[in-house]
Amino acid sequence: MAIRDQLAAFAKENGFQGKGPLCVALVITDHARNRGLPLNPDELVTEKEGQVLGLGRGKVQGILAKHGITRVLAKEGGRTSRGSMGNMRSYVAFLNRLSATDDVDLDSLEAFWVDQVVAFFSAKPFSLRLDSSLGLRAVVRNLMDQAKVRQDEMPGTMFLGTVMQHLVGAKLDLVLGQGHIEHNSANANDERVGRTGDFDIGDVSIHVSTSPSEALIAKCVENIAANRRPIIVTTFRKTAAAEALADNVNISDRLDIVEFEQFIATNIYELGRFLPDQRSMKILELIERYNAIIGEHETDPSLRIEVATGR
């Protein structure tokens, strides 16, 4: 089997399509070039942080620059991506198997991964179908289903949570006007950047989550202790779980848990003054604002949403 065919099979079987795995593949291929094969995966781990050695934006962008690519693949070079350590070990094992049977053309390997990066940048965006026969919740749910399918196809990615967070942010911009809230990458840690939630507005801390956890509830407890009002925006299926977790620590009457689809749909109706033409216009404004936020705070263009009309 040709080397590119073997690489394609490996990428498909191991989910090496997202920006995190692609960063790992580029950096480990570069390690193979500098260190030779076989590689020892235990030597490719940082001592203090337990991360993949050399994995960072500077290294990744340096490799891409050799191929004329200046677009940023990942703001932190995949360093904070979930599963990077496992991806490193699986790719090292693959390279070592290749080197045991034949000489490995590392230029061809790097070219393959660069081609995958180009394909990643040109990935098709999500599609929001404007169908007047559908309720707004159904329109939003269809969008969420697309994000969930893509996420399932690329283990370790967070498409659904990212789309939800930025749609909430876009909706808040429509309601409050731009400039009243701060937007951040979906990978940004609340505590690290000094936030009390995904969005801080007045005394309110909004948390957007696809799967509310005890850790999230603990943040809500901290919000309450600081005289803030926490709101959790989550999926329909997870609202009951969030309520149960809140009840476990006796704060169920001190925070609000809102279902995401309803959170978006209700405001569209209100902003559109319950008029069909105005409603459609507000949806378009929501998506336009969402895409602007994606362009500013995320590096994956496939997170964008295009609007289609009709059935």
pLDDT digits (tens, 9 = 90+) for 12-40: 999 898 888 999 999 999 999 999 999 99
SS (H, E, C) the chain: CCHHHHHHHHHHHHCCCCHHHHHHHHHHHHHHHHHCCCCCHHHHECCCCCCECCCCHHHHHHHHHCCCCCCCCCCCCCCCCCCHHHHHHHHHHHHHHHHHHCCCCHHHHHHHHHHHHHHHHCCCCEEEEECCCCCHHHHHHHHHHHHHHHHHHCCCCCHHHHHHHHHHHHHHHHHHCCCCCCCCCCCCCCCCCCCCCCEEECCEEEEECCCCCHHHHHHHHHHHHCCCEEEEEECHHHHHHHHHHHHHCCCCCCCEEEEHHHHHHHHHHHHCCCCHHHHHHHHHHHHHHHHHHHHHHCCCHHHCEEEEECC
Q: Tell me: the pLDDT tens digits for 232-291? A: 999 999 999 999 999 999 999 999 999 999 999 999 999 999 998 899 899 999 999 999
**Average pLDDT, 10 consecutive residues per value, the chain (311 residues):** 89 89 96 96 85 92 92 72 86 95 91 91 85 88 91 78 97 95 82 80 96 96 97 96 97 96 94 90 95 91 83 51
Q: What is the pTM of this model?
A: 0.72
Task: Name the residue ranges covered by the structural domains of the chain.
Answer: 3-121, 126-309
Q: 126-309 in CATH: which number? A: 3.40.1350
